[in-house]
Structure 1
């Protein structure tokens, strides 16, 4: 990995990182992560993205697969899938740095129109590979724009487009390409996923989701599970539980308030399902996470 990219990320992140280790940028969909100590487990249903690790190490698990990766490697997620992640290598002297860019289906679709059709396949939705030179070079030029506010609105879109182009041309371009095919299974399921994300607190109507995907009920269930590894109901439950966990950790919400806020009518049911996903009851899990977070605070400062 070119040290120029690391230095550009370090300079911006050190000046703008928040208490959660995230440095948001004026470039839509792009953030820089910085941590100065290993982190507790973090649960999410990730949107499609690419993460370029510049320093330190991280572990990401989805289903039965676990990936350990570090500097000069990239994580590519090409579907909305549940992940458990943890920064494993980070210190005050050598913080963890990574650049995360959300993949944009609109940009991918436009590129497909320009470069023509080609075979595509979804494959595994999560993978780790060495960062390709063209991707790293484009990311470097993109971060340099952060020091040139006047040039940013003029040049950022074409550099985001170029980054997507090199990902399309890479060894897993077929999986990226699938995101931009609106009438393909990935694009149709993405419409249903967005509907669930926007309304996860309310009861699901499977017919409405299948209609949004333009599929029969049976085909919708098959392709939804294939894309996300979950059924629509399981997907909604995980969104609810992850949001409830966030409100308890970040906002200090009580277990009951967190449960009701995300759509549960029974605290007992919430506790059972929470324990299945996170491995322990909510009260114990939150205490453990807070202890781990407090232990990391001196290093982060």
Structure 2
């Protein structure tokens, strides 16, 4: 673990201007670094595996909550809304995690070559101890980053190896569902992809169901089973999260952000924003500014 932590720390400290997400030259491989506990963070996660190497984090999905720390991995096997918070981090001991976005194409290819597994926990989010083989594969990926000339030749193989060990381990059954092209998870994922592209536009459930290749009633049922939200609730969260980003990163006011993400009523936007984030937009931005100044 310490060897992987050292490699992640070196890369993050060399490529980060502060706390936050640090990209790498390998698509889909990210590092999260924080030197203090965070505020609550709302997001609609894509499928990923998060290996915590130092510090601790809390994540809730609907009524389920998870606390995990160094030595644990968080698996997200579907597009789901999460509320998360880094709970243990300091300047002396920052929070570090390595995140791999899961690739359904790689999973499909690997599953075709691997023996079948018995069904496991169907929940789209789970936490388990990180397995040694996964840590070793992650370390090899980090070492490739230190040898840029090797990336064009070896990075695809390294990403594939890490997917393999995730599939072969405790998370295997949940990840396999991402590799079933005609399975419910993949069908819902096609509709989610459309929602992410067109979140600011009205989209009929019938259009989303057609994208998923399901009847509207079956689509609604499977969408909620996979994501924990109805399609309308899912789109609403995408809009509100994007509006918050516009206000925080671009200085948009509430009405500008509301219209930009598809709202026709600013009072409705303000009510729904307050329900999701706990404060109306103006108060939320004031609190964010105070945290920055402080």
- Give TM-score scaled by structure 1 length: 0.95
Deviation of the 1:118 alpha carbon: 4.3
Deviation of the 1:266 alpha carbon: 0.9
The more displaced of 277-286 and 136-145 is: 277-286
Q: How many residues align?
A: 294
1:1-301 to structure 2, matched below 5 A, reads 2-19=1-18, 21-120=20-119, 123-295=122-294
Task: Tell me how far apart the structure 2 counterparts of residues 135 and 151 of structure 1 sit (CA, whole Å).
Answer: 21
Task: Tell me how far apart the structure 2 counterparts of residues 278 and 33 of structure 1 sit (CA, whole Å).
Answer: 22
Deviation of the 1:128 alpha carbon: 0.9
Task: Tell me how far apart the structure 2 counterparts of residues 241 and 20 of structure 1 sit (CA, whole Å).
Answer: 23
Deviation of the 1:157 alpha carbon: 0.7
Deviation of the 1:105 alpha carbon: 0.4
Checking the alignment, whether the CA contact within 8 Å between 1:122 and 1:178 is kept in structure 2 is no
Task: Tell me how far apart the structure 2 counterparts of residues 111 and 120 of structure 1 sit (CA, whole Å).
Answer: 17
Deviation of the 1:184 alpha carbon: 0.5
- Unaligned ranges ≥5, structure 2: none
Task: Tell me how far apart the structure 2 counterparts of residues 211 and 66 of structure 1 sit (CA, whole Å).
Answer: 33
Match of 2:44, SS state, is strand
Task: Tell me how far apart the structure 1 counterparts of residues 60 and 17 of structure 2 sit (CA, whole Å).
Answer: 25
1:299 maps to none
Task: Tell me how far apart the structure 1 counterparts of residues 3 and 138 of structure 2 sit (CA, whole Å).
Answer: 10
Match of 1:115, SS state, is coil
- Give TM-score scaled by structure 2 length: 0.97
Match of 2:8, SS state, is helix
- Unaligned ranges ≥5, structure 1: 296-301
Q: 1:206 to 1:82 in 2, by over 3 A?
A: same
Q: 1:118 to 1:214 in 2, by over 3 A?
A: farther
Match of 1:200, SS state, is coil
Checking the alignment, whether the CA contact within 8 Å between 1:120 and 1:177 is kept in structure 2 is no
Task: Tell me how far apart the structure 1 counterparts of residues 246 and 289 of structure 2 sit (CA, whole Å).
Answer: 13
Task: Tell me how far apart the structure 1 counterparts of residues 19 and 91 of structure 2 sit (CA, whole Å).
Answer: 16
Checking the alignment, whether the CA contact within 8 Å between 1:40 and 1:293 is kept in structure 2 is no
Match of 1:69, SS state, is strand
For residues 145-171 of structure 1, the C-alpha deviation after alignment (integer angstroms, 9 at most, x for no partner) is 111011111111111111111111112
Checking the alignment, whether the CA contact within 8 Å between 1:121 and 1:178 is kept in structure 2 is no
Checking the alignment, whether the CA contact within 8 Å between 1:196 and 1:236 is kept in structure 2 is yes
Determine which structure has greater relative contact order: mean sequence separation of CA pairs < 8 Å that are 6+ residues apart, divided by chain length.
1
Task: Tell me how far apart the structure 1 counterparts of residues 47 and 124 of structure 2 sit (CA, whole Å).
Answer: 9
Task: Tell me how far apart the structure 1 counterparts of residues 202 and 18 of structure 2 sit (CA, whole Å).
Answer: 34
Match of 2:49, SS state, is strand
Checking the alignment, whether the CA contact within 8 Å between 1:6 and 1:55 is kept in structure 2 is yes
Checking the alignment, whether the CA contact within 8 Å between 2:48 and 2:76 is kept in structure 1 is yes
Match of 2:144, SS state, is helix
The more displaced of 158-167 and 217-226 is: 158-167
